[in-house]
Chain A
């Protein structure tokens, strides 16, 4: 492959922006995935199908493609591939840059995250790691109900469930243990349920200094399942609360070893203060990158690409003082009917991930969740309200009951339940 020094190894990902940024910066893309989708062929320079669970094989493929020379960077925006990305970067790059293997694991493995933060005296839910349903039940009894059961290294809210009883805990833990992928870390996490409003905090850390780019108030469905319904900016937190939150997230990232990278951290405000729920060493999903870009002036996809390459990060001016993000969800099953808005019809983002005529399920159904989103930016509440109303009127979303139809899951949805 021509000029390895101008080649970025990109692992997985489907969003056009991730490819566009690298090409705009003047780099070629060596793209690796288990099976490279046909529509990505036009966006990459060299597509390679490789078993991304076999790290040694992936390293060999890269060496072969680059004639043993170092690439300019190794990058992924896909949560499960972050440890592989860090591993390859440390194996292939001549100097350390971006996320270390240790920091990648500390964020990816939720047990690591909690263990490190607890040892550092930072606030996390009480937790335990179980390798069997019986052990999960014991941990739940020790913690006290309700508890939350979740995969140790799952992405988003998949498999996450609030449990009120020993029996519910056993069932939820059994699901996680039985349905774990072969590459999953062993065990199921059982932790204290935290009651209180949730916040999503987006950051960029450079040279050990963290800048909080955005703090969004996060809206979720009622338990037992956790589906993200929307986000608001500003978050509604008072100035002093924001300062405490920023200090906390900065300390959290420092303890986990996250440097020269971006993050998306979820925090709950409980009666005794903030407590850390998740730390993701990546940009957020959904359209929170665009929302963060609008209110901070920093494009997190561009920023993390530059950090991986060792380039200076560009910071622009915020474009809006208010932003509202609402997930498109449904209360009941049926056939979805809507009017597709013409491209560029709205100044903000309106997207539905299934075509009109597809079947949909309720928000709390295992095959339901989020079907799209409306994201509006403005400088006044009235303007935000108006923009959202216009978008909804134009979409004219309707669900026709269809109890007699056999459910067929759509394969077009990128983000089923969360960011």
Chain B
């Protein structure tokens, strides 16, 4: 399906699967537009291979002539446990599939455009609306949009919006790890050193490596189950597909015990200028609390500084230890629209209710990540 001349002469093309995307061109654009691993071809490939629900890809590509100037991954969502929980909290019944850009599992969504082609974002949003009509979607929109101009434009265009959750960002542009820690009070540094010594004395060390897929799934599912959440938000096949596809970008940290067994993991990925700490995992049979959490956060930050990564996305939930290392809250928004007046009123009321009653879901605590 191709839609032409959507906005200002931009050609917007809709692609129904990653097989039809030029991987290198897509990733190059995501990097140039400041995107993270959540917009990468590899993330989309894993999502398509083992989706956590029923999703039809409908990725949008904006061209200036023959040059790719913007992308917007999107799916026609037929079934998504996370979206269904949001609908339940918001008290709305989506009367059909929703075209979403793109995944509630990611920390970022919506269109990306080259800095010199900011209007490509408008074309991509218009493209979403046209695609929603062509696919007979009940509604369309974007999830996990960062606060800023795009959210303002969508609100101004009549989209119903709600602050969905919060991720925590840390500026890691420091020459050395010592420079970074020197910005903290000595009391704070001493506390962290004490926690690290306790961890070391207990025989646990933190390594810059990813566990194998089986261990990765076991540890992540351990935390999900321990929070009383359903595993359907992070099904095993989905985790395995991501583990495999994202391997080139993997910068995970693993805590191992004296016998070398992995007891905790931070699944982290470098892409563009961001390191994204996507998921945490824990051997809940061996540890009744996430003891290594704060030293692992500190280690992740130090690792990023050493590697010259300018920004670390520490992810959603668990704000206290993230704030302690200097991270700041970055709200993420859901924006939805329909072409029908009465549905629009329902959406506005529902998202207002969602923002009032259900904002800031924990990452895995209730599955709404």
The yes or no verdict on A and B being binding partners is: yes
Question: Which A residues lie at the B interface, using CB under 8 A?
Answer: 55-56, 83, 86-87, 90-91, 96, 100-102, 105-106, 112, 115-120, 129, 131, 134-135, 138, 183-187, 255-257
Does B307 make an interface contact (CB < 8 A)? Answer: no
Known: A86-B345, A184-B356. 13 other contacts (CB 8 A): A55-B349, A91-B346, A101-B160, A101-B349, A102-B348, A105-B348, A116-B155, A117-B152, A119-B151, A129-B331, A135-B329, A185-B355, A185-B356
Report if A87-B155 is in contact (Cβ < 8 Å); known contacts: A131-B329, A186-B359.
no
Q: Smallest Cβ distance from B269 to chain A, in angstroms?
A: 27
Annotate B151-175 by CB proximity to A: 1 below 8 A, 0 otherwise.
1110110111101001000000000
Greatest chain B CB density within 10 A among A100, A115, A134, A187 is at A115
Partner of B156, one of A90, A135, A185, A255: A255
Q: Which residues of B contact A102 (CB under 8 A)?
A: 155, 158-160, 344, 348
Q: Smallest Cβ distance from A347 to chain B, in angstroms?
A: 44
Give the dominant DSSP class at B's interface: helix
- Top 5 A-B residue pairs of the complex, sorted by shortest distance between their CB atoms: A119-B152, A90-B345, A102-B158, A116-B156, A115-B152
B120-172 CB contacts (< 8 Å) to partner A: 147-153, 155-156, 158-161, 163, 166
Q: Is the CB of B341 within 8 A of A96?
A: yes
Q: Smallest Cβ distance from A141 to chain B, in angstroms?
A: 11
Does B352 make an interface contact (CB < 8 A)? Answer: yes
Q: Is the CB of A90 within 8 A of B342?
A: yes
Does B106 make an interface contact (CB < 8 A)? Answer: no
Partner of A138, one of B150, B328, B341: B328
Does B360 make an interface contact (CB < 8 A)? Answer: yes
Q: Is the CB of A115 within 8 A of B341?
A: no
Chain B residue at minimum C-beta to C-beta distance from A255? B156
Q: Is the CB of B344 within 8 A of A101?
A: yes
Cα distance A102–B348 in the bound complex, in angstroms: 7
Q: Is the CB of A119 within 8 A of B349?
A: no
Does B323 make an interface contact (CB < 8 A)? Answer: yes
Query: How many B residues touch the partner, as a band?
Result: 20 to 34
* 26 A-B pairs in the complex with CB atoms less than 8 angstroms apart: A56-B91, A87-B345, A90-B344, A91-B342, A91-B345, A100-B158, A100-B344, A101-B344, A101-B345, A102-B159, A105-B352, A112-B161, A115-B152, A116-B153, A116-B155, A116-B156, A118-B152, A120-B153, A131-B329, A131-B359, A138-B328, A183-B356, A185-B355, A186-B163, A186-B355, A257-B158
Chain A residue at minimum C-beta to C-beta distance from B156? A116
Q: Smallest Cβ distance from B261 to chain A, in angstroms?
A: 38
Chain A residue at minimum C-beta to C-beta distance from B319? A132
Q: Is the CB of A257 within 8 A of B156?
A: yes
Report if A83-B329 is in contact (Cβ < 8 Å); known contacts: A90-B342, A119-B156.
no
Q: Which residues of B contact A184 (CB under 8 A)?
A: 356
Q: Is the CB of A90 within 8 A of B356?
A: no
Report if A106-B156 is in contact (Cβ < 8 Å); known contacts: A115-B151, A118-B149.
yes
Chain B residue at minimum C-beta to C-beta distance from A114? B152
Q: Which residues of B contact A112 (CB under 8 A)?
A: 155, 161
Q: Is the CB of B152 within 8 A of A185?
A: no
Q: Which residues of B contact A115 (CB under 8 A)?
A: 147, 151-152, 155
Q: Is the CB of A134 within 8 A of B323?
A: yes
Report if A119-B158 is in contact (Cβ < 8 Å); known contacts: A102-B344, A131-B329, A131-B360.
no
Q: Smallest Cβ distance from A146 to chain B, in angstroms?
A: 22
Cα distance A14–B83 in the bound complex, in angstroms: 42
Cα distance A325–B19 in the bound complex, in angstroms: 70
Q: Which residues of A contact B149 (CB under 8 A)?
A: 118-119
Q: Smallest Cβ distance from A74 to chain B, in angstroms?
A: 11
Q: Which residues of B contact A131 (CB under 8 A)?
A: 166, 329, 359-360
B317-360 CB contacts (< 8 Å) to partner A: 323, 328-329, 331, 341-342, 344-346, 348-349, 352, 355-356, 359-360
Q: Is the CB of A116 within 8 A of B323?
A: no
Q: Which residues of A contact B147 (CB under 8 A)?
A: 115, 129
Q: Which residues of B contact A105 (CB under 8 A)?
A: 348, 352
Q: Is the CB of B155 within 8 A of A106?
A: yes
Cα distance A117–B153 in the bound complex, in angstroms: 9
Q: Which residues of A contact B152 (CB under 8 A)?
A: 115-120
Q: Which residues of B contact A117 (CB under 8 A)?
A: 152
B8-30 CB contacts (< 8 Å) to partner A: none
Partner of B348, one of A87, A118, A185: A87
B174-197 CB contacts (< 8 Å) to partner A: none
Chain B residue at minimum C-beta to C-beta distance from A254? B156
Cα distance A249–B104 in the bound complex, in angstroms: 38
Q: Which residues of B contact A256 (CB under 8 A)?
A: 156
Greatest chain B CB density within 10 A among A117, A118, A131, A187 is at A131
Q: Which residues of A contact B328 (CB under 8 A)?
A: 138
Q: Smallest Cβ distance from B139 to chain A, in angstroms?
A: 14
Chain B residue at minimum C-beta to C-beta distance from A86? B345
Chain B residue at minimum C-beta to C-beta distance from A186? B359
Cα distance A106–B356 in the bound complex, in angstroms: 16
Q: Which residues of A contact B360 (CB under 8 A)?
A: 131
Q: Which residues of A contact B349 (CB under 8 A)?
A: 55, 87, 101
Cα distance A101–B160 in the bound complex, in angstroms: 9
Cα distance A136–B289 in the bound complex, in angstroms: 31
Q: Which residues of A contact B352 (CB under 8 A)?
A: 83, 105, 185
Chain B residue at minimum C-beta to C-beta distance from A104? B348
Cα distance A92–B124 in the bound complex, in angstroms: 33
Q: Smallest Cβ distance from B332 to chain A, in angstroms?
A: 13
Chain A residue at minimum C-beta to C-beta distance from B148? A119
Q: Smallest Cβ distance from A184 to chain B, in angstroms?
A: 8
Chain A residue at minimum C-beta to C-beta distance from B91? A56
Cα distance A119–B125 in the bound complex, in angstroms: 15
Cα distance A115–B156 in the bound complex, in angstroms: 9
Chain B residue at minimum C-beta to C-beta distance from A116? B156
Q: Smallest Cβ distance from B178 to chain A, in angstroms?
A: 24
Chain B residue at minimum C-beta to C-beta distance from A91? B345
Cα distance A296–B16 in the bound complex, in angstroms: 58
Cα distance A187–B159 in the bound complex, in angstroms: 20
Q: Which residues of A contact B166 (CB under 8 A)?
A: 131
Q: Which residues of A contact B331 (CB under 8 A)?
A: 129
